[in-house]
C-alpha cells in the first residue's frame, strides 16, 4: 500500500519558517551580533524567517539548500566519527583548515543553488540574455554600465584604489 506524501509539499512554508527561525536564532545567539538580548534575536529571526517563507523564490532557495545542508552535516559527522575511531585523539586531526574546507564547500553549494534558483529572474539582465519581459529601467541601467567607457573607468578606479592602498599601508 502506497502512502501519499505529496500533501507535505503544502507544509513547505512552515518547514522553511521553522528551519530558518532555529538556524538564525542560533547564529544570532552564538555570535551576539545584536547583543545579549534574547528578545532582539527572536524578533530579527522571526521577521527574516517570515520574509523567506513568504517569498516564493527565497522559499525555493531554502528548500533546495536544506538537503545539501543535511548531507554536509552528515558527512562532517561521519568524518569525525571515523577519525575518532581511527585515532583516540580527535584534536590532532581537527585543525582549522579542516573546518574551513567544510565552510568553503558549503559556500560553493550556496552559490550554485542561488544561480539555479534565481537564474530565471536575472536571466534577462545578463549579457547575451533574452531581454523580453525585463524591466526597461533596469535594462537601461545595464546598457549604461556595460559600455566600454564605464567599465574602463571602473577598472581605472580599482587600479588607483589598489595603488593608493599599497603606497599608504604601513609596514
The tens digit of pLDDT for each residue in 71-81 reads: 988 988 888 88
CB 72 within 8 A of CB 109: yes
Q: What mean pLDDT comes out for the span 94-98?
A: 76
Task: Summarize the confidence of residues 35-61 as an average pLDDT.
Answer: 89
Check residue 35 and report its DSSP letter.
Answer: -
The pTM of this model reads 0.60
Give me the pLDDT at residue 68, please.
86
Query: What are the structural domain ranges in the chain?
Result: 6-129, 135-171
Amino acid at each position: 500500500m502506497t502512502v501519499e506524501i505529496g500533501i507535505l509539499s503544502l507544509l513547505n512554508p512552515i518547514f522553511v519558517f521553522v528551519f530558518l527561525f532555529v538556524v538564525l536564532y542560533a547564529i544570532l545567539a552564538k555570535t551576539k551580533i545584536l547583543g545579549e538580548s534574547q528578545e532582539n534575536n527572536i524578533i530579527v529571526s522571526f521577521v527574516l524567517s517570515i520574509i523567506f517563507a513568504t517569498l516564493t523564490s527565497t522559499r525555493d532557495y531554502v528548500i533546495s539548500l536544506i538537503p545539501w545542508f543535511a548531507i554536509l552535516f552528515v558527512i562532517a559527522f561521519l568524518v569525525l566519527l571515523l577519525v575518532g575511531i581511527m585515532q583516540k585523539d580527535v584534536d590532532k586531526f581537527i585543525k582549522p583548515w579542516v573546518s574551513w574546507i567544510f565552510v568553503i564547500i558549503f559556500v560553493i553549494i550556496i552559490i550554485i543553488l542561488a544561480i539555479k534558483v534565481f537564474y530565471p529572474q536575472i536571466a534577462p539582465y545578463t549579457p547575451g540574455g533574452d531581454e523580453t519581459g525585463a524591466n526597461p529601467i533596469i535594462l537601461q541601467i545595464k546598457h549604461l554600465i556595460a559600455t566600454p567607457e564605464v567599465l574602463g573607468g571602473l577598472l581605472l578606479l580599482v587600479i588607483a584604489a589598489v595603488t593608493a592602498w599599497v603606497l599608504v599601508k604601513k609596514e
